[in-house]
Amino acid sequence: MKLKYLIALATLPLISACTMETMTTNQISELYSDTTSLSSNKATANYYYADGRYKSTDLETGEVTRGTWYAKEPDEICITSDKGERCFAMSKSDTMVTFELNGNKSSRKLSEYLEGDQTSELVKAAK
């Protein structure tokens, strides 16, 4: 019987580490401002300027799409480009961020957000 309780207690940190909570606009702005990340399919490098500009670079062709980004109440990041505006609901755990748009979810490790504009390095690495 004691073993049963020890096993239950041992799993508590794992359960809490996976708990997702919605992100505030401040948390979204802090995470994205002046960072680069790869798209979920790893085909584009997305750089989020600190002043709200945005660029997405196709790693194969080098084609660049430009636009803007902003955090929207209560828990969304919005990206506007010539393709229109898309807003993703955001949630996070201690190690992951999850995006949701129209019921479709995608996740990324927090460690995958790179400081500054790393686009040229990612383009070089893709070749």
Which domains are present in the chain?
20-126 (2.40.128.640)
pTM to 2 decimal places: 0.82
Instruction: Report the distance separating Cα 124 and Cα 119, nearest Å.
Output: 9
Instruction: Report the distance separating Cα 51 and Cα 125, nearest Å.
Output: 27
Residue 127 clears pLDDT 50, i.e. is over it: yes
Q: What confidence score (pLDDT) does residue 19 get? A: 83
Residue 126 clears pLDDT 90, i.e. is over it: no
Q: What ranges make up the beta strands (E) of the chain?
A: 21-22, 35-38, 44-48, 53-58, 64-72, 76-81, 84-92, 96-101, 104-109, 114-115
- Residue pair 33/50 in contact (Cβ under 8 Å)? The answer is yes
**Across residues 7-26, what is the average pLDDT?**
62
- Give the model's confidence band at 18: pLDDT under 50 very low, under 70 low, under 90 confident, else very high: low
Q: What confidence score (pLDDT) does residue 46 get? A: 97
Residue 32 clears pLDDT 90, i.e. is over it: yes
Report residue 64 as tokens: 């660049």
